[in-house]
Amino acid sequence: MIIYTRGDYMRELYRENKQFFNKLIFLCVFLILVYVFFEYVLVYVVPFVIGFIISLAISPLVGFLQRRLKIARGITTIFLIIIVILLVAVAGTAVVNRVIVEVSYLSQALPSQLEDLRNILYDIEDGFERFMTFVPDEFTFDFNELVNQLISFLTSWLGDAAKSFSVGFVTKVPSILLNVLLCLISAFFFTRDKSLIRDTLMKNLPEWVGIKVKMVQEGFLSAISAYLRAQLIIMSVVASLCILGLTILQYPYAVIMGIVICLMDALPLVGSSLIFWPWALMSLLSGNYKYTVGLILINMACFFARQILEPKVLGQQIGVHPLLVLVSIYVGLNLFGVIGLFIGPVMLVTGKLILQPAVKAKV
């Protein structure tokens, strides 16, 4: 009679399911490496990550031009990077000029805006003083003095914030230029030596791991594409709701504001509420109750639309159940913060690809 120890049983179980356990170990190691990278390493290699992303974006076009024009890959890469530099320079110049114009306009309009705020607060003061007639004297205070202190604080805070931002930006210019240079240099080498880097990695990996890495690479790009498509769908719905709601309220710039709000809504932990609630509060203070109620209803519609659509649309685009997508978003947010809202679903798809043959029928 043969007696199996627990160790013998585990070894036999591993031999019978060797392929599955290898994939499971690979998945665990991969997820641990991803966590370590985003939690501890990313902050030190951001320029190279951006360079790698630029390389992914221009590599297909580099390959196309190389085949059609019969030009060396390095020269084609330099040509496209120069185009990227020109585009970034033009866009950056336009943004900086626009910011300068807006800041100049804000500095000119700020006194009148603060005066409008003062008038609104004085209207509140009238109602407050009527209310304070029913309050004992020991609980009363000078509301006018409070308003003046608030206006003084806002003026001082805005001035200090603008000065701090300007000084901080100027001191960081050398660091920004160095990071941009590193991004471009790394993008050049990632693109020019793409085949060399890939072949070197594959030679030093076991065959089954190399196959999975290739599958994960293809699936990773597919997941990013699907994620962006899902976000565009949700942003289109949010923009439509905003434009419709603001049109009903007879707001003259409904289309422009709807586009701005849908872009804000796409930002994690920001959302459309950052625009709607201050807008609704100002409408309430100015006595425009129709706008107040309308803006709150539009904000609620946008919020519930995103909460309902995001798991479902993401699930359809990346090919997994909406509940799993919701769990991945929550886990990613808790592990990595804001960026985890993007990392979570991508890692979910990556894990699915690693285990696909074993769980194909279940996911």
Q: How many beta carbons lie within 10 A of that of residue 80, not counting itself?
A: 20
Are 196 and 212 within one domain?
A: no
Are 179 and 210 within one domain?
A: no
The parent domain of residue 335 ranges over 205-357
How much is the pTM? 0.57
The whole-angstrom separation of Cα 212 and Cα 353 is 8
Q: Is 103 among the domain residues?
A: yes
Domain boundary among 201, 235, 261: 201
Residues in the chain: 363
Are 110 and 140 within one domain?
A: yes
Are 182 and 73 within one domain?
A: yes
Q: Is 38 among the domain residues?
A: no
Are 211 and 197 within one domain?
A: no
Q: Which two tokens stand for residue 21?
A: 């356990």
The whole-angstrom separation of Cα 267 and Cα 11 is 49
Are 196 and 233 within one domain?
A: no
Q: How many beta carbons lie within 10 A of that of residue 17, not counting itself?
A: 13
Domain boundary among 132, 167, 201: 201
Q: Is 266 among the domain residues?
A: yes
Q: Is 8 among the domain residues?
A: no
Contact 318, 325 (CB under 8 A): yes
Q: Is 25 among the domain residues?
A: no
Place of tokens 């998945």: 27
Are 292 and 183 within one domain?
A: no
Q: Is 269 among the domain residues?
A: yes
Are 234 and 195 within one domain?
A: no
Query: What does 232-296 look like in DSSP terms, one character per residue?
Result: HHHHHHHHHHHHHHHHHTT-TTHHHHHHHHHHHHTSTTT-THHHHHHHHHHHHHTT-HHHHHHHH
Are 176 and 236 within one domain?
A: no
Are 291 and 259 within one domain?
A: yes
For the chain (363 residues), the mean pLDDT of every run of 10, in chain order, is: 58 72 77 84 87 84 84 85 84 72 64 67 65 58 62 68 65 80 88 84 73 70 74 87 89 80 74 82 77 89 84 73 78 80 78 61 39
Are 149 and 257 within one domain?
A: no
Are 125 and 271 within one domain?
A: no
- Into how many domains does the chain fold? 2
Q: Is 243 among the domain residues?
A: yes
Q: Is 36 among the domain residues?
A: no
Domain boundary among 161, 186, 201: 201
What is the reported pLDDT for 118? 67
